[in-house]
Structure 1
Amino acid sequence: MSEAVADGHNPLIPQPKATAEELRAALVRIAPSQVAAFDADRTKAMAAAREHVDAAPMRRFLRQWALTVAIERHPARAARLRELEARAAQVEDLTEARAIASEVSAIQTDAADEAGIDRRAGG
């Protein structure tokens, strides 16, 4: 493994296309512990799409998991997000809470940009 990849700051894999198959294959490589959650979410989204005859649940599913892959493919970024989420659950100081929220938002914005996700887009 190269130093660039080993340091956790460069992506482990290229960002895949936002298809269920490519996202799942990426998770198998970079975050295998999340494959079961992906499969469960996919099943729920497909059922909702069928029930309501609406593609919106599948679009939301694909956007969410494309964002997850974009975060997880950078190990340092994924680790930092987990640290922030853990700290957010404990913080009592409003200023610190705002700083955490700002950093989480920046991570999600960067990942959304990499995944080609318009975060303003609706269902």
Structure 2
Amino acid sequence: MSVHPLTPGDGPTVERPKRTLAALKEALAQVAPSQLPVMEAERDEVFTLAAETQSVGPVNGFLFRWATVVEIERHPEVARRLHRAEQAVRMAGDEETMRAAIQEVAEIQAAARRAVEGG
């Protein structure tokens, strides 16, 4: 299945891809191309681990992780919120600010995981 762009606006910029390496890679190339090298490096590590352990668990985890990343990035406003919160975590000058930013990151990631699980 190819990933088709959707109409511009507040909604997603591409359809939710199937949880396959090819579909996720295609979607990531559209919504966050700078993350492709990270995905590819992680893929190599995960497939090596899967072969060493003779388990598909690492591959399933990898696919779920990247499906979650794509889920966030295909919604531009959600992605902007996440990146602002991540920046706030790194730059926080006090504990309260850091806790609030960490909470925002956690909430965005949890919502994306739920969407991927249900979608």
Is TM-score (shorter-chain normalized) higher than 0.5?
A: yes
The Cα RMSD (Å) is 1.9
| Runs of 4+, deviation exceeding 6 Å | none
* 8 Å CA contact 1:15, 1:114 repeated in 2: no
Work out the CA distance in 1 between the residues paired with 2:30 and 2:89: 29
Deviations 1:75-114 (A, max 9, x none): 1111111111111112132222221121111111111111
1:23 maps to 2:34? no
CA deviations on 1:36-75 (whole Å, 9 max, x unpaired) are 2111111111111001111121111111101100010011
- Relative to the length of structure 2, the TM-score reads 0.85
d(CA) in 1 for partners of 2:8 and 2:116?
A: 19
Partner residue in 2 for 1:120: none
Between 1 and 2, higher relative CO (CA 8 Å, sep ≥ 6) is seen in 1
Aligned residue for 2:104, secondary structure, equals helix
**What is residue 5 of structure 1 aligned with on the other side?**
8
Unaligned runs of 5+ in 1: 118-123
**CA–CA distance in structure 2, aligned partners of residues 96 and 34 of structure 1:** 27
Size of the aligned set, in residue pairs, is 114
